[in-house]
Amino acid sequence: MEIAILGIALVVLLMLGVPVAFALLGASIACFLALDIPLVVVFQRMASGISVFSLMAIPFFIFAGDLMYRSGIAERLVQVAGAVFAPARGGLGLVNVGASTLFGAVSGSAIASASAMGSTLIPLMREKGYDGDYAVNVTVTAAIVGLLIPPSHNMIIYSAASGIGVSISDLFLAGVVPGLLAAGLLGLTAWLVARRRNYPKGTFPGWGALFRAMIYAMPGIMTAVIIMGGILSGIFTPTESSAIAVVYTILVGTLVYRSLGLRTFLETVTQSVRITALVLMIIGAATAFGYALAIMEAPAQLANLITALTDNPILVLLIINVALLLLGTFMDMSPLIVITTPILLPVAMQVGVDPVHFGIIMMLNLGIGLVTPPVGSVLFVGAAVGKIRIEQAVKTILPFYVALLVALILVTYVPALSLALPNMVK
């Protein structure tokens, strides 16, 4: 009965348009009242959910990503990708995927990538004769790569939600190959669609221009090298690396590129504080919601239900993937990670799935939800930047969905794609 109250309350609140954090909080309160548990426990669980040291990395990575966007690093990455991919048919689509992959390697945020690449490339693509729906579809789906290429603050949330201390360093390494795989499949799709629509070819600017573009972009690219190099060498922890990323980005923006002024810096601080507050509020509310589920032993019941249906790892992972894909269309990524990880991770581990591998499956799976209506936040950002209707983008996005789903299938059923690098450095 209490589980029904929790679920119905959440669905009703979301249908009424209540923000996700408050819908989770309201459903938790309704459940606690039904269970006759003091409401102070709700707020205790919220506080404990965000009082995790590793979560300190989230505001720093958000801040660093926004600084990278505003300090001109994104434009320099576009120049590198443009010099490499522009000569191909529909080359600007490949430039978009390549630049998004590079930007993901230094920002780790899908929304930041969609904003940065969208504002830079979508107007240019339309000016060169590309359709608006194509430009938006390439931009938003390529932005998903940033969730896999380290650093990714969603991996930090997963590590905290797992309850077993999944290594953040291992998660960062595990995302590299799947991220490159997803980028490759999206690039192939962008090229095939461009050929079918007969988009124009670009011209190769010359080896000198490519070399100069790489030199100009190198300070920004070094952000990812410093972060991962420092973590793997043991010089600093993933949490410390987030603070170092902020300091390094400020130095690059002010001393190297000289594009980060006081006004821009203050705007970045304000925006980052807002996003951080939203993310942490969602994490806190989702923690209280997850605690309510745990009290009613919902994770154990779900595990028993799935294992009663089958104990075949292939089928279990298929069920989990389908469930996550459906949930991802209705709820944002951060709360879903906090809610579903304690429920689904034990089920996956019961059939022999490595928790690091499962984390990458979850990142890619829920990332697809970010570009799927009705709650596809990255899709909404891309459509807004591209100045087209959501319906117009969705009509032609299917080939890019297929590319992401193929990547998801490969990542799910070929564990070596995720685990080879972490195992190599152990």
Which 3-state string (H, E, C) describes the chain?
Answer: CHHHHHHHHHHHHHHCCCCHHHHHHHHHHHHHHHCCCCCHHHHHHHHHHHCCHHHHHHHHHHHHHHHHHHCCHHHHHHHHHHHHHCCCECHHHHHHHHHHHHHHHHHCCHHHHHHHHHHHHHHHHHHCCCCHHHHHHHHHHHHHHHHCCCCCHHHHHHHHHHCCCCCHHHHHHHCHHHHHHHHHHHHHHHHHHHHHHCCCECCCCCHHHHHHHHHHHHHHHHHHHHHHHHHHHCCCCHHHHHHHHHHHHHHHHHHHCCCCCHHHHHHHHHHHHHHHHHHHHHHHHHHHHHHHHHHCCHHHHHHHHHHHHCCCHHHHHHHHHHHHHHHHCCCCHHHHHHHHHHHHHHHHHHCCCCHHHHHHHHHHHHHHHCCCCCCCHHHHHHHHHHCCCHHHHHCCCHHHHHHHHHHHHHHHHCCHHHHHHHHHHC
Q: Compute φ and ψ for 189, nearest 5 degrees.
A: -65, -45
Angstrom distance (rounded) from CA 416 to CA 250: 37
CA distance 269 to 288: 28
Its domain, for residue 6, covers 2-425
Orientation angle between helical segments 73-85 and 57-70, nearest 10 degrees? 70
What phi and psi values does residue 125 have, to the nearest 5 degrees?
A: -65, -40
With beta carbons less than 8 A apart as the criterion, state whether 117 and 100 touch. yes
HSE of 382 in the Cβ direction (CA atoms, 13 Å)?
A: 36
Q: Bridge-partner residues for 201, per DSSP? A: 89
pLDDT values of the chain reduced to their tens digit, one per residue, 426 residues: 677 888 788 888 878 878 878 888 888 888 888 888 888 888 888 888 777 777 777 788 778 777 877 777 767 777 777 677 767 777 778 888 888 877 776 666 777 777 777 777 788 788 778 888 898 999 889 988 888 987 788 888 898 888 788 888 899 899 999 999 999 999 999 999 988 888 877 676 677 777 887 888 788 777 777 777 777 777 887 778 878 888 888 888 888 877 778 888 888 888 888 878 877 888 888 888 888 877 877 767 777 777 777 878 899 999 999 989 988 887 778 888 888 888 899 889 988 899 999 999 999 999 998 888 776 778 888 888 888 888 888 888 999 999 999 999 999 999 999 999 988 876
* Spatial CB neighbours of 8, under 8 Å, sequence gap ≥ 6: none
So what's the pLDDT on residue 171?
92
**Structural domains in the chain (count):** 1
Amino acid (1-letter code) at residue 80? V
Tokens describing residue 406: 């193929």
**What is the identity of the amino acid at 132?**
G
Residue 415 structure tokens: 């564990």
Q: Which distant-in-sequence residues (6+ apart) come within 8 Å of 280 by Cβ?
A: 50, 55, 58
Which two tokens mark 67? 């600084």
